[in-house]
């Protein structure tokens, strides 16, 4: 498997690169106030990835989403164009876990933890680098490795047994597990239902430990509009000139 990387499908466009290097401006990153004391893993840049060779789109990224990004409502709000669903797929030897804290949902944040013999189901998305940069900003995934999340290369398998080479978001420093809010878990489950994930896996999601939020959720931050305006590949030929609406819905 290739080393940890911060992009997929050749060099990222300058706009997405700049956004990923920018300080966090809100979003789903860990807002617990804890400063990680563990060393951050160094990113290993790659050129043309297996994803590009498999799908033939060097101007697109391929992302495996397994939590709130499965929900079409969230993707519509955060992306300039709705990403194409390539496949429903599973990641072997991992489990869904929650850590840190998000002010948006008042509870733990989704990530993946190693778990031999278990599996996590989700969706493979094809999206522009513009929208990957937008999602990176929301996830606080930055190229300098200082964000709450990082890009993790993986191979997932769809229901027909085909392999898909993708990136996914993982938390860098997790700490102790923290239950998500009930509202957050319900939002994830609703997205999983809409995507047609297996019935048995949906039951496992619904049964996960959670607690009610202590205030009305979701409570979205107001992003720096200038930052998100710069997350566009139109000037470098990689964008598609889609809607540039405020991803916070504000």
Q: What pLDDT, in 10s, does the model give residues 215-239? A: 999 998 775 544 554 444 333 333 3
- Residues 6 or more apart whose CB falls under 8 angstroms from that of 21 comprise 142, 143, 144
Q: First and final CA of the chain: distance in angstroms?
A: 40
Supply the pTM of this predicted model: 0.74
List Cα–Cα distances, 244 to 85, 107, 223, 227, 237, in angstroms: 21, 29, 13, 12, 16
Tens-digit pLDDT profile for residues 92-124: 999 999 999 999 999 999 999 999 999 999 999
User: Is 235 strand, coil or helix?
Assistant: helix
The band of 28, judged by pLDDT with boundaries at 50, 70 and 90, is confident
The band of 142, judged by pLDDT with boundaries at 50, 70 and 90, is confident
Question: Both tokens of residue 9?
Answer: 């499908």
User: Is 189 strand, coil or helix?
Assistant: helix
In terms of Cβ atoms closer than 10 Å to its own Cβ (0-12, 13-18, 19+), residue 53 is exposed
- Residue-level pLDDT at 134: 95
pLDDT, mean of residues 71-78: 96
The band of 244, judged by pLDDT with boundaries at 50, 70 and 90, is very low
Give the separation between CA 191 and CA 185, rounded to whole angstroms.
Answer: 10
Residue for token digits 């300039």?
80
Pick the CATH number of 14-31+41-236 from 1.10.10.10, 3.40.50.2000, 3.40.50.1110, 3.10.490.10: 3.10.490.10
- Residue-level pLDDT at 55: 60
Q: Which of 135-139, 229-233, 244-248 has the highest mean pLDDT?
A: 135-139
The band of 144, judged by pLDDT with boundaries at 50, 70 and 90, is confident
- List, in sequence order, every beta strand (DSSP E) within 129-179: 149-158, 163-171
- Residue-level pLDDT at 63: 97
User: Is 98 strand, coil or helix?
Assistant: strand
- Residue-level pLDDT at 166: 95
DSSP state letter for 39: P
- Residue-level pLDDT at 70: 98
């Amino acid at each position: 498997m290739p080393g940890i990387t911060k992009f997929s499908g050749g060099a990222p466009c300058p706009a997405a690169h700049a956004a990923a290097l920018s300080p966090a401006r809100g979003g789903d990153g860990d807002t617990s106030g804890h400063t990680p004391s563990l060393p951050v893993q160094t990113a290993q840049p790659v050129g043309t990835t297996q994803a590009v060779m498999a799908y033939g789109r060097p101007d697109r990224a391929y992302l495996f989403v397994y939590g709130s990004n499965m929900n079409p409502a969230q993707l519509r709000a955060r992306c300039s164009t709705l990403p194409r669903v390539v496949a429903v797929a599973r990641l072997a030897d991992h489990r869904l876990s929650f850590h840190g804290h998000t002010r948006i949902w008042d509870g733990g944040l989704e990530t993946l933890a190693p778990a031999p013999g278990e599996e996590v189901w989700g969706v493979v998305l094809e999206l522009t680098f513009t929208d990957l940069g937008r999602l990176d900003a929301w996830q606080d995934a930055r190229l300098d490795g200082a964000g709450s999340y990082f890009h993790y290369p993986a191979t997932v398998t769809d229901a027909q047994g085909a392999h898909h080479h993708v990136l996914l978001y993982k938390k860098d420093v997790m700490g102790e597990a923290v239950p998500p809010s009930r509202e957050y878990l319900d939002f994830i489950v609703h997205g999983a239902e809409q995507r047609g994930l297996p019935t048995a896996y949906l039951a496992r999601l619904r049964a996960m430990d959670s607690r009610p939020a202590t205030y009305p959720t979701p409570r979205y931050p107001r992003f720096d509009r200038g930052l998100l305006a710069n997350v566009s590949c139109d000037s470098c030929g990689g964008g598609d000139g889609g809607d540039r609406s405020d991803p916070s819905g504000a």
